[in-house]
Chain A
């Protein structure tokens, strides 16, 4: 749009607005061009942004979600959780019969699906002993049903046959289909049976689903869970509508309904306490109740050495308070590492910034080589050097500083971690310091000296304040990297030199307490993000330089 072309067109419209070459108002034309540029830039960024969101941000979000997620209790013991709503831990008494009845149903289903052990280990994090209690109960829960099963079978042998059950509870359509297709035919309940025998129908339907999906068997040929007999006893003795029922085996049911009055009965509560005394323990019930909501603050409380107990939030037992110590140790050691990096990096950066370009470029290689060398190489080097039979001890013995019998222990403790990590992170301190110091004009120090300042005053009052941004940038960078370190502390830290990261890794790969690992990770992440934000404010992420 040179002046010449613009001049051939009308320059303004009726309202006096400037026009572009094609006759549209200039303002709109510019806005459109700007918008197009914006869209073009965003279109270039979008693929990467989506890539990062899926491969990186979504995983982080997933981890944060896992730190509060607690669906396992409500999913595995759905009926028990509902029944427990009525019960108060403060009452000081174990819950009543309905809760145990609900537990019998939940436990039977969970034990068949083998989910009770997972829930047991989950709750065991909160109250030790629950894991074995659940395992024992998973095995013992069949006894509850068998108690009634025997009585039904004594009454009439027809109750031993799986077909009896299938004919009563299966729909006619399914009974026909299974005769042809076998296990392939999807089970469906008979119309009206759910109203006549609500409890039994529910459990039988659950059994049929399990038989078909997990074992790929035909419910027509499989013995129902013993609990179904207990349910039938409950339905019949509760005066269920046997009269209203007119399907197959109605006579058998009539006979049973007449006989159940004479059956020996057993309370679920007594049955469970018979399996394990712990079911009378209100601590167990309190824990189940406290962890029954779908979201819990329990993991976060655990990671700050608190505990969600039935009575509310309490401090963790003395011997289990480890996370406060670990967080403090991580902070303290990162601080020590940062300070030693500052002390070692400052003279080197100063020297590099003040030497002639050619020599400083040469010396820079000594800084960049460790920066480029594999982290594991450097860690293994320190592991080799610091060993009791390693090079450093050998040299010290040879010089005579250390007695051969009392070689120094420099590894598998805090000292080893600090030395190795200082070495590993030192380039991250030198590089930002160097780039700041390079920009400090030497004439300032010369001016100070010409005004009578001593070398020290000139350095401390003139040079040093100008180099502070470099120290700040380097320190935040090193500190951020240090508090999240995992590999080096794991290899040279032993037990006293480990960081919070090592504990996170332990919970994810060994103890499998993923929620706690995620909560510890979330806290660490928060700390890092605050520092990252500060770094962005002070240095600007655009100004990060590599090499």
Chain B
């Protein structure tokens, strides 16, 4: 299927190329919506489609006005500040709790391992609207609803499964004799952790952190319920913009978010390969 043998019949040839065309179309379906919004965000008009000027590559058809709008509107700037102040703290919480727990879970002698795992992964599986509703009820009872701290806790809970999954995956290939060697050479457990184990699982921890960060940074349902106007994040502002009056500023924001995603994706991929190389799992 990878290459066409010289003896292939006409039918096989047609199928071979048809299959690639089908796959190409599916890739197009995956990527086109994301790519299309980028040029549209430079539209000089308040339209959501390509103007004739844009199609003829007339410089007058393009402008940065939607970007200026984003940087000049206090609503958007406040939302950006909120997002930036919530996501890192939530990430820090998920990563520190999550990494410790993942190390604990990787030990062979954990009782109820499956059940614990199921509980820890559940924030990823339970529909967001249910988590949001439950948190809204419960956080109102304990006075966390509508506070910065409440949103941070909620987002940290949502990010934990990602940290657990990535860190446990890195620990699967972890050679336990290294920690034993370190211990036999006189290092205490804390030193062993920071000098031997941590550097080796660091790529997994960082990928987990990036996942947790993007989860919090993109999250809208929970923050809609747990937050109040003071915690309005970027996705929240986009959600309002999309539901009420859809303004092309959203496309500018979307383009910037795609760029951030590309940066994060690249980092995660580099880390993954590095980690696999460190553990000798992949020839790459």
Contacts and interface: CB of A to CB of B under 8 A. Distances in A.
Interface of A: 34, 37-38, 40-45, 47-49, 51-53, 55-63, 66, 344, 347-348, 350-351, 354-357, 363, 365-370, 372-385, 387, 389-391, 394, 423, 426-427, 455, 480, 483-487, 490-491, 501, 504-505, 508-509, 514, 517-518, 521, 524-525, 528, 532, 536, 541-542, 544-547
A436 B98 CA distance: 27
Contacts of B118: 532, 536, 541
A50 B250 CA distance: 39
A380 B97 contact: no
Interface in B87-107: 93, 97-98, 100-101, 103-105, 107
Interface string B240-264: 0011001000110010011001101
A377 B257 contact: yes
15 contacts: A43-B104, A48-B101, A52-B123, A56-B131, A57-B119, A62-B141, A351-B19, A372-B262, A380-B238, A381-B34, A426-B29, A504-B129, A509-B224, A541-B117, A546-B211
A185 B131 CA distance: 46
Nearest to B15: A455
B131 A59 contact: yes
Contacts of B101: 44-45, 47-49
B17 interface: no
B200 interface: no
B49 A376 contact: no
B231 to A, nearest CB: 15
B48 A372 contact: no
Interface in B1-20: 1-2, 12, 15, 19-20
Given A394-B49, A455-B12, A528 B40 contact: no
A346 to B, nearest CB: 10
Given A368-B265, A376-B238, A542 B130 contact: no
Contacts of B134: 56, 59-63, 521
A375 B40 CA distance: 18
A460 to B, nearest CB: 14
Contact of B47 (A348, A378, A389, A521): A389
Given A356-B2, A373-B258, A484-B127, A344 B154 contact: no
Determine which residue in A52, A357, A369, A485 has the highest number of CB atoms from chain B within 10 A of its CB, and name it.
A52
Determine which residue in A51, A355, A376, A383 has the highest number of CB atoms from chain B within 10 A of its CB, and name it.
A376
A99 B31 CA distance: 68
B202 interface: no
A374 B156 contact: no
Given A372-B268, A383-B246, A384-B48, 11 more contacts: A34-B109, A48-B97, A60-B131, A63-B138, A372-B261, A375-B220, A376-B235, A377-B261, A380-B37, A385-B36, A528-B125
B49 A524 contact: no
B13 to A, nearest CB: 12
B48 A387 contact: yes
Contacts, number: 279
A55 B144 CA distance: 11
Contact of B133 (A58, A374, A521): A521
B23 interface: yes
Determine which residue in B49, B105, B133, B154 has the highest number of CB atoms from chain A within 10 A of its CB, and name it.
B133
Nearest to A544: B165
A354 B1 CA distance: 7
Given A380-B250, A384-B48, A366 B31 contact: yes
A536 B129 CA distance: 22
Nearest to A385: B33
B117 A384 contact: no
Contacts of B27: 348, 363, 366
Interface in B114-162: 114, 116-123, 125-139, 141, 153-154, 156-157, 160, 162
A525 B125 CA distance: 10
Contact of B130 (A40, A63, A370, A423): A63
